[in-house]
Structure formats: C-alpha cells, structure tokens
Amino acid sequence: MKERTPANLVRRYLMLLVGLMIMSLGVAFSIKAGLGTSPVSSDPYVLSEITGLTVGQTTIIFNCGLVLLQILLLRRRFQLIQLVQVPVAIAFGYLCDFSGWVLSAIQPANYLQQWIFCILGILLVGTGVSFEVTADVVTMAGEGVALALCKVFGLKFPVAKVCVDCAMVICAIILGFVFLHQLSGVREGTVAAAIFVGMTARQVNKPMKRVGQLVLV
C-alpha cells in the first residue's frame, strides 16, 4: 500500500466531505417524505421529536454516543485515530440541518410524492456512502460500532451491520412509544432504506472506484 501524502489525504477528506453533504441531503429528503428515515437516522429523528433539538444536533449527540460505545466494546483495542469520527459526526450534523433548511420550502402533496422523496433520499444516502467508502479515511460511527462487534464477537461485517441497524430501529420504536406514545421515524420507508441503501452504494461503488483511481493518487 502506497504511503498517503498530505495532498492525498486532503483529497480524500474533501471526497469524504462531499459524501457527507450528499448523505445529509438524503437524510433531509427522507425526513420530508414522512415515511420513516433510514435505520441510522431513526434514533436522531425520534430524539429530536422528544427533545425539541434539531435533527443535526441529535445526530451529533447520538453519533458521539456510538463512538463511546466503541470505546467500551474495544477498550485497549480502540484506536485513537477513530476519534476522528467525532468531528466527522459534528460536520454531518450541521450538514443535516443545512440540508433540512434547503428543503424547508418544499412538501410532498400526496403518498406518491412521499415515495418519490423517499426514493431520492435512499439514492442520495447510498451515493454518499459510496463516496465515504472510496475516500477510505474514517468510518461513520454506525459502521464503527459494527466493526467493533466484528472484533469483539468475531462476527462478519454484513451480519454485524444488520444487527446494529436492527438495534437502532428497535431503540427508535421504543423511544417513540415511551416518550411520544406513537411510532415515530420508523415506517415503510425505513424498511426500504434498510434494503436499498446498501444496494445503491454497491452499484455506485463500481464507477466510484475508477474516479478514486483518477483523483486519489
């Protein structure tokens, strides 16, 4: 593996930033759709409904909690470089609020339009994930927890990722019923996102590999 130069790292972090911007716009579209957010955004959304904080603020708090969970799981095996997940989470949280502001003037008028917004959200989140994977500098906190479970329990990453996503959705359901007395942030769109975000990312990864070979040299 070639040593990464400072210029190479700058390009990689810029690609990560672009990915975060695309993902945040996807989150904003999924919230506007009103059909449930993706699993990783379900808890921040419910927490924002409970506390009155913005989705961006609760995203920051939730992701910092996930970093803490990684530390508790891995203990001495936790790599300090993974603390970079914290500023990444902060940037993503602010971008989520900015994207929400950008889309604040539009509203789906019917169920079909809700699904159009939901599909746009899924495609954008999947594309953003592909940018993150191609940048290859730091994982998001949710994936970080899945990787920690792989190290601690010997799970394969796809299995660990499904476990983490299911746990997030279950937690969102419980929080919604306990504090809001209703299901919040988890609907048919959540199921669609759980299935198709990963599929979208895998499809976008193919051309993104070629982009990475050209840009990240």
DSSP 95-135: HHHHHHHHTTT----SHHHHHHHHHHHHHHHHHHHHHHHHH
Check pLDDT > 80 for residue 48.
yes
Residue 18 has pLDDT above 90, yes or no: yes
Alpha-carbon distance of 63 to 140, in angstroms, equals 8
Q: What is the pLDDT of residue 2?
A: 55
Detail the DSSP E strand segments found in the chain. none
Q: How far apart are CA 42 and CA 31, in angstroms?
A: 10
Answer yes or no: are the C-beta atoms of 168 and 40 closer than 8 Å.
Answer: yes
3-state secondary structure of 115: helix
Q: What is the pLDDT of residues 69-115, one digit of tens each?
A: 999 999 999 999 899 999 999 999 999 999 999 999 999 999 999 99
User: Nearest CA to 168 among 149, 186, 150, 148?
Assistant: 186
pTM for this predicted structure? 0.92
Residue 1 has pLDDT above 60, yes or no: no
Between CA 143 and CA 115 the distance in angstroms is 26
CA atoms within 13 A on the CB side of 88: 26
Residue 68, pLDDT > 80, answer: yes
Across the range 143-167, mean pLDDT stands at 92
Helix, strand, or coil here: 81?
Answer: helix
3 state DSSP class of 63: helix
pLDDT of res. 110: 96
> pLDDT band for position 3 (50/70/90)?
low
Contacts of 148 (CB under 8 A, 6+ apart): 69, 70, 73, 74, 78
* Cβ neighbours of 162 (radius 10 Å): 15
User: Stretch 35-62: mean pLDDT, rounded?
Assistant: 95
In this predicted structure, the answer to whether residue 167 has a pLDDT above a threshold of 90 is yes
Angle at the Cα of 29 from the Cα atoms of 24 and 32, rounded to 5 degrees: 125
pLDDT score at 6: 85
Answer positive or negative: Cα dihedral of 179, 25, 87, 200.
Answer: positive
Q: For helices 85-102 and 141-153, what crossing angle results, to 10°?
A: 140
Angle at CA of residue 66, ends 130 and 183, nearest 5°: 85
Work out the percent of the chain whose per-residue pLDDT is above 90.
Answer: 74
| Residue percentage of the chain with pLDDT more than 70 | 98
